Amino acid sequence: MSLEMTYREALAKSIEEEMQKNPEVFIMGEDIGRYQGTFKVTRGFVEKFGSRSANYNYRILDTPITECGFTGIGIGAAMAGLRPIVEFMTMSFSILALDQIINHAAKVHYMTNGEVKCPIVFRGPGGAAKQLSAQHSHSMDGWYAHVPGLKVLCPATVADAYGMMKSAIADDNPVIFYENPGLYTVKGEIPDDINYTVPIGKAQILREGKDISLVGYSRMTQVHLAAAELLAKDGIDCEVVDVRSLLPLDTETIYNSVRKTHRAVVTYEDWRSGGFGAEIVSRIQEDCFDDLDAPVVRVGGLNVPMPYARNLELLCIPSEEDVVAAVHKIR
């Protein structure tokens, strides 16, 4: 059996189930309690986990507006044996906690010779939502995927949001869990199985094809699926590769697809210059050069601060039309 729900509901269900199973799991962040979260992922949580009781003793922690402070508290709790989930109101605000995440969470296991673990999940909306302007629209997934010691997950589907969150909470390493706000209302099905998980570090093929590989992650995977439908009308059979996990990166699935189709377009919402998609392009061209019949094309966001005006905002974010144009360049 399966259950239909939105991406947001799948995240909430996954977190709630893991908190019910494990009293060491708790969640902290700005406005996640009474306000129920900026994007309402924690709707109803304070009533279930915030009351004084033997089993659920204040496990929904509203924090002050101090990302560096509550991130450090979460890391300390993880080092002490708990499994915190730190929600950032927007992942753009995690910039204020980079020292805690990169210099401490990502390195403590290595610097203690494996004696100290840091099982913590840093999660929240990353990327453009709708007119949140320049300071609230960063796609920082590639920044974190640059850091050894972290795991970086960018689920694109409802089932993956559900199953990968469970895997992230269970992992003994610090995990960056990226939720594009454009996916929160997307509907899909999840297995009716409380123990369902999705493995970390494994890409997937969401659409089989023979002519060209469309490689992406997070909301850009949904853009690829829409572009593939448009390209099918032109007789171009696209294979859609959903990367899912940036760190660790499953290059085998990507390479196998490219070796089959001999062409690739890589799309990412981050700024085109230096975004993680450029890393994927580089690896394909280094390791699959002899299999390519055309250069790999990358489609990224414009290298400008995100505008507030909706018409300008849309111009900065890759669309299915941009992907279609990129495919026609190498067909």
Same fold, 2-191 and 204-329: yes
Q: Residues with catalytic annotation? A: 67, 136
Find out whether the peptide bond into 248 is cis, omega within 30 degrees of 0: yes
* pTM of the predicted model as reported, rounded to 2 decimal places: 0.94
Which run of H or E residues covers position 69?
helix 67-79
* C-alpha distance from residue 245 to each of 161, 178, 229, 267, 319 (Å): 12, 10, 24, 15, 22
Which pLDDT value is given to residue 129? 87
Q: Which residue has the higher pLDDT, 202 or 136?
A: 202
* C-alpha distance from residue 264 to each of 72, 92, 205, 213, 285 (Å): 41, 30, 14, 5, 10
d(CA 53, CA 196): 28
Instruction: Assign 54 a pLDDT band (cuts: 50, 70, 90).
Output: very low
Query: Tens digits of per-residue pLDDT, 272-315?
Result: 999 999 999 999 999 999 999 999 999 999 999 999 999 999 99
CATH number of this structure's domain 2-191, picked from the four choices 3.30.450.20, 1.20.210.10, 3.40.50.300, 3.40.50.970? 3.40.50.970
Which pLDDT value is given to residue 57? 57
Q: Which of 107, 103, 108, 100 is nearest to 72 (CA)?
A: 100
Name the residue with tokens 């439908």. Answer: 229
What residues does each domain of the chain span?
A: 2-191, 204-329
Residues 204-329, CATH architecture: 3-Layer(aba) Sandwich (3.40)
Query: Tens digits of per-residue pLDDT, 140-181?
Result: 999 999 999 999 999 999 999 999 999 999 999 999 999 999
